[in-house]
Structure 1
């Protein structure tokens, strides 16, 4: 298919007349078109199509259809039917009333093109560019970011189901690629155990019996891998994705002990960032946050928060579920910088700010990263011998303890996470005779005090942040961050943010870019219609709580 850009972007006169009559008060699609004009052009997506071929349906219009689809929570069939039958959709797309639209499969094909070119950001960028041109996007003030978990489109599997389904998936792929070869090496029991889904099987209840089933699956999978790797096996079979998934799953779950297949101990398994959780979404990862366990991904939403403009989402970042929040501040700032949406203040929760991130945000992007910095967690924290009680002389590279003793060693090292730190040590001769030694060190056998410091810029930034966060003024300002929780709630309720519609990180990322664009259209429409922002809900009984009572009921 090829793109043939349309010359005119005007709405047909008859479409305007009928739309005004049918929607005297307007609709979201009509108001957005009137206020923002055409959001996308075909030229923005020309590189997604070959230069020659059958003319494709307008990609600029398809991009808008995808956004409207997420605004209203429509399936592909429903979205295609809306383009064919709804007057307000035809108005927003600038179509003739008699335009037949397109087959619903065109939307899936267009999403695939967006994924292959990593072009999902263009959809969100198009909405932001139009909002900026109309003065609806204000980015120089404040922004806030938070993350939430996203469940994989594939069903969550227990360990037995995971290994059984991985083996069954490989057998089905091999049966399609080389049926005669597989029929020759397949054992009779395989057809009984792996011809149907694992969820249709009844695994034993007893722990020992379940372990036996797991080992039987492990032996069968090992036998299949050996057959695929044999010299007389067709070479093409080794390159099948399902076979590679089987190999990876068996490496993380089983190993050979004296020639026998055994299940790996938990400590001998790969880390969570590398561990497969389902053969049907090999990029999904298992993770945990407080009491929430999930298999899938994580998404970070950043939005503006100015009182005189709609709160628009300016950046969406999708990661594996195992990526911690404290690695994402720099990623978010880079994404905001490419859109020219960097804020002066960036408000986040305690998961994001570290000493390095706070300093990097200020020096690299001129952003004041605001969020609760974790307190000093050393064993000697607090009291007269906490780390904050020691005086640091950065110029002469020495530290003085509260009793006046000066350190003897100052070394530049790296922490267990690979971060640059400074190791400071006091002389055992000085510390051993100190009457406060046991109050100063945590280990009963330690003979001297050792301190680990960040580099000066990071150390001073953290100290300043901790001091600032103890003030009532900062605590009152920090309330601005809580608003992003409502954004996540809106995205979950309106666009199904909490569960991926598709399999794989790239497609899930596209879903989240479209979700951000859809929420922006909904918020722009709310701004145009003067719809008040929702307030935090309070139950009738909670509203009766006397002002002098605290949240826990104590006076």
Structure 2
């Protein structure tokens, strides 16, 4: 396939006439074309196609079809049929009424090209650029961000299913690449145990029996890996993706003890960030957030939140499930800065703000990062000898305790998390005689007080944030963040945000970029039709609750 860029041109007159007659009040697709014009042009996707070959269907139109597909929750077949049969789709795409459209496989192939080049952001940017031209998107205001879990497209497997399916997947791949070689080395029992899917087998219920099955699968996998890595084996077998997944899975879950294959103890297994959870999606990871346990990914949505304009999604970041929210603020701000969408105030929940992130946002991007800071968990925090009770002289690099003793040591060190800190120590000669020593230190044998401080900018940022967050004014302002929960809900209900349609991080990320673009089209259309924003839903019984009664106080 090659691309020969063409100018989109005007909508054919007959298409306009029929669309106006069929949709006198318009439709989303018609209004978007009328108000935003041509959103995507072929030349924007020139890098995705070779210079020679059979001409591809217009990539600019394909991008718009992908977004409309997510707006309406269509399958590829349904989206291709809509292009062929629906007047409003032909209007939005600028097609003749008799245009036959394309085969549904074109959408899958175009998504592969977008995912391979990490070009999903181009689709979101095309809509944001059109919105900015029409003053529907203004930078420098307020924005809010939240994340949610995303389930992998692969089914969740128990441990026995996971290792059995990993081995079966590798055997199937080798059977395609080198069937004669596999026939020679395969054990007779392998055809009995691995010819069908693990979910079709009935594993024993007794713990000892299940352990025996696990050891048998482990031993069979070791035999296969030994055969694949032997010198006389065709080298291309070692390069198979399924064989590499088998090797990684066996390293993470099995080891040899005196020549016998055994399952690793839980403390001896790979950390969650590296641990495979299924052979059919090697990038999916298992994670836990409060009472939610899932295998897959995580997505972060950032949207504007201005009262007189539509709330548009300006950044979408998809990560592995094990990546914590606390490291995402800088990446989100860098993404917003690269596309001219930085806000002045950025409202997030308690998972995002840290001292370093607040300082970096203000220093590098001029963004005021606002979110609940975790309380001081240090021993005796807030007490008469808590850290806030000590006076810090940053210029003299000295700390004075509540009883007037001054510190004698000030050293730059790193914490257990490898974060830069300042370690302050007082002299034993000052602390030993103090009658409150045991109230001031934690250890019964300690003879002096030691304090770990953040660097000044981070210390002051945390102190200011914690002070502000106790005020009613800040609590009232923070209510603006709650609206992003509605965005996640809309993404889930309209676009299936919490279930990946595809396997792998790249394609899942593309799905989320298209979801953000689809939400933006829906919200721009709602703004154009002056559709009021929905209020938080309350069931009929809860609405009868007296104003002075809270859920926590209910009996």
TM bucket normalised to smaller: over 0.9
Q: How many residues align?
A: 555
TM norm structure 2: 0.99
C-alpha distance 80-8 of structure 1, shift in aligned 2 (>3 A) = closer
CA distance in 2, matches of 1:226, 1:291: 41
C-alpha distance 410-21 of structure 1, shift in aligned 2 (>3 A) = same
CA distance in 1, matches of 2:86, 2:151: 33
Tell me the CA shift for residue 236 of structure 1. Answer: 1.1
Contact map agreement 2:389 2:401 (CA 8 A) in 1: yes
* Equivalent residue number for residue 195 of structure 1: 195
* Equivalent residue number for residue 103 of structure 1: 103
* Equivalent residue number for residue 86 of structure 1: 86
List per-residue Cα deviations over 1:391-422 (Å, max 9, x = no partner): 11111112111121222221111122221111
Work out whether 1:151 is the aligned partner of 2:151. yes
* Equivalent residue number for residue 474 of structure 1: 474
SS in 2 for 1:378: coil
CA distance in 2, matches of 1:427, 1:211: 58
CA distance in 2, matches of 1:202, 1:410: 65
Contact map agreement 2:79 2:104 (CA 8 A) in 1: yes
Please, which moves more after superposition, 104-113 or 376-385? 376-385
* Equivalent residue number for residue 542 of structure 2: 542
SS in 1 for 2:288: strand
Contact map agreement 1:413 1:423 (CA 8 A) in 2: yes
CA distance in 1, matches of 2:214, 2:554: 54
CA distance in 1, matches of 2:278, 2:47: 34
* Equivalent residue number for residue 525 of structure 1: 525
SS in 2 for 1:297: strand
Contact map agreement 2:7 2:41 (CA 8 A) in 1: no
Structure-to-structure mapping, 1:352-363, within 5 angstroms: 352-363=352-363
5+ residue gaps, structure 2: none
CA distance in 2, matches of 1:416, 1:182: 50
Structure-to-structure mapping, 1:136-535, within 5 angstroms: 136-535=136-535
CA distance in 2, matches of 1:265, 1:257: 12
CA distance in 1, matches of 2:223, 2:497: 41
C-alpha distance 402-554 of structure 1, shift in aligned 2 (>3 A) = farther
CA distance in 1, matches of 2:226, 2:196: 23
5+ residue gaps, structure 1: none
Tell me the CA shift for residue 554 of structure 1. Answer: 6.8
Tell me the CA shift for residue 553 of structure 1. Answer: 2.5
Contact map agreement 1:9 1:38 (CA 8 A) in 2: no
Tell me the CA shift for residue 207 of structure 1. Answer: 1.2
SS in 1 for 2:214: helix
CA distance in 2, matches of 1:162, 1:421: 43
TM norm structure 1: 0.99
CA distance in 1, matches of 2:59, 2:430: 75
Tell me the CA shift for residue 548 of structure 1. Answer: 2.2
Tell me the CA shift for residue 143 of structure 1. Answer: 0.2
- CA RMSD in angstroms, aligned pairs only: 1.1
CA distance in 1, matches of 2:550, 2:403: 41
